[in-house]
Amino acid sequence: MTPNLTDPRAIADAANKIYEERYKADYEARFPGKYAAINIADQSATVGETSSSTLSQARQNHPGGLFHLIRIGHAGTFDVGFSHRYVHSSRVY
Protein backbone atom coordinates (compact mmCIF):
# COMPACT_ATOMS: atom_id res chain seq x y z
CA MET A 1 0.00 0.00 0.00
CA THR A 2 1.49 3.36 -1.03
CA PRO A 3 2.00 5.66 1.95
CA ASN A 4 0.78 9.27 2.01
CA LEU A 5 3.76 11.00 0.36
CA THR A 6 2.90 14.37 1.91
CA ASP A 7 3.31 12.96 5.42
CA PRO A 8 6.94 12.34 6.39
CA ARG A 9 5.84 10.11 9.24
CA ALA A 10 3.94 7.85 6.85
CA ILE A 11 6.99 7.61 4.57
CA ALA A 12 9.21 6.81 7.52
CA ASP A 13 6.83 4.14 8.84
CA ALA A 14 6.67 2.44 5.45
CA ALA A 15 10.44 2.51 5.08
CA ASN A 16 11.05 1.27 8.61
CA LYS A 17 8.75 -1.67 7.95
CA ILE A 18 10.70 -2.53 4.79
CA TYR A 19 13.98 -2.20 6.67
CA GLU A 20 12.91 -4.41 9.55
CA GLU A 21 11.52 -7.11 7.29
CA ARG A 22 14.29 -7.20 4.71
CA TYR A 23 17.52 -5.67 5.91
CA LYS A 24 17.79 -5.02 9.64
CA ALA A 25 19.25 -8.31 10.88
CA ASP A 26 21.81 -8.50 8.10
CA TYR A 27 22.82 -4.84 8.13
CA GLU A 28 23.19 -4.61 11.90
CA ALA A 29 25.62 -7.51 11.73
CA ARG A 30 27.58 -6.21 8.75
CA PHE A 31 27.30 -2.41 8.78
CA PRO A 32 26.79 -1.12 12.33
CA GLY A 33 26.96 2.67 12.58
CA LYS A 34 26.66 3.21 8.85
CA TYR A 35 23.65 4.67 7.04
CA ALA A 36 21.00 2.95 4.93
CA ALA A 37 18.69 4.78 2.54
CA ILE A 38 15.52 2.73 2.03
CA ASN A 39 13.70 3.44 -1.22
CA ILE A 40 9.98 3.07 -0.61
CA ALA A 41 9.37 2.97 -4.38
CA ASP A 42 11.10 -0.36 -4.96
CA GLN A 43 12.12 -1.45 -1.43
CA SER A 44 15.81 -1.31 -2.31
CA ALA A 45 18.51 -0.17 0.10
CA THR A 46 21.74 1.79 -0.30
CA VAL A 47 24.41 1.72 2.40
CA GLY A 48 27.00 4.45 2.96
CA GLU A 49 29.41 6.04 5.42
CA THR A 50 27.68 9.39 5.91
CA SER A 51 24.09 10.52 5.61
CA SER A 52 24.88 12.88 2.73
CA SER A 53 26.92 10.38 0.72
CA THR A 54 24.35 7.63 1.29
CA LEU A 55 21.46 9.76 0.05
CA SER A 56 23.50 11.05 -2.87
CA GLN A 57 24.45 7.52 -3.92
CA ALA A 58 20.88 6.32 -3.48
CA ARG A 59 19.65 9.04 -5.83
CA GLN A 60 22.28 8.14 -8.38
CA ASN A 61 21.27 4.47 -8.18
CA HIS A 62 17.52 5.18 -8.20
CA PRO A 63 16.79 8.64 -9.64
CA GLY A 64 13.06 8.35 -9.15
CA GLY A 65 13.21 7.07 -5.61
CA LEU A 66 12.01 8.53 -2.31
CA PHE A 67 14.24 7.54 0.54
CA HIS A 68 14.11 7.24 4.29
CA LEU A 69 17.47 7.44 5.98
CA ILE A 70 18.28 5.03 8.77
CA ARG A 71 21.37 4.85 10.91
CA ILE A 72 22.10 1.16 11.21
CA GLY A 73 21.98 -0.09 14.79
CA HIS A 74 20.70 3.22 16.22
CA ALA A 75 17.22 4.11 17.44
CA GLY A 76 17.34 7.59 15.85
CA THR A 77 19.31 8.69 12.83
CA PHE A 78 20.45 12.07 14.02
CA ASP A 79 20.87 13.66 17.36
CA VAL A 80 20.07 17.34 17.78
CA GLY A 81 21.60 18.93 20.81
CA PHE A 82 20.51 22.53 20.73
CA SER A 83 17.87 23.93 18.43
CA HIS A 84 14.93 21.80 19.51
CA ARG A 85 15.78 21.44 23.13
CA TYR A 86 12.63 23.21 24.29
CA VAL A 87 10.45 22.81 21.23
CA HIS A 88 7.48 20.48 21.02
CA SER A 89 7.64 18.31 17.93
CA SER A 90 4.46 19.85 16.46
CA ARG A 91 6.19 23.21 16.13
CA VAL A 92 8.43 22.09 13.30
CA TYR A 93 5.54 22.42 10.86
Which residues would be at the binding site for another protein (CB under 8 A)? 8-9, 11-12, 15, 37, 40, 50-52, 55-56, 58-59, 65-70, 75-85, 87, 89, 91-93
* Of 29, 22, 38, nearest in space to 77 by CA: 38
Q: Are 55 and 63 in contact (CB under 8 A)?
A: no
Q: Which is nearer to another protein, 43 or 56 (CB)?
A: 56
Q: Which is nearer to another protein, 1 or 91 (CB)?
A: 91
Q: Which is nearer to another protein, 1 or 82 (CB)?
A: 82
Q: Are 43 and 66 in contact (CB under 8 A)?
A: no
In 3-state terms, what secondary structure has residue 27? helix
**First vs last Cα of the chain: how many Å apart?**
26
As measured in angstroms, the least distance from the Cβ of 63 to another protein is: 11
As measured in angstroms, the least distance from the Cβ of 48 to another protein is: 11
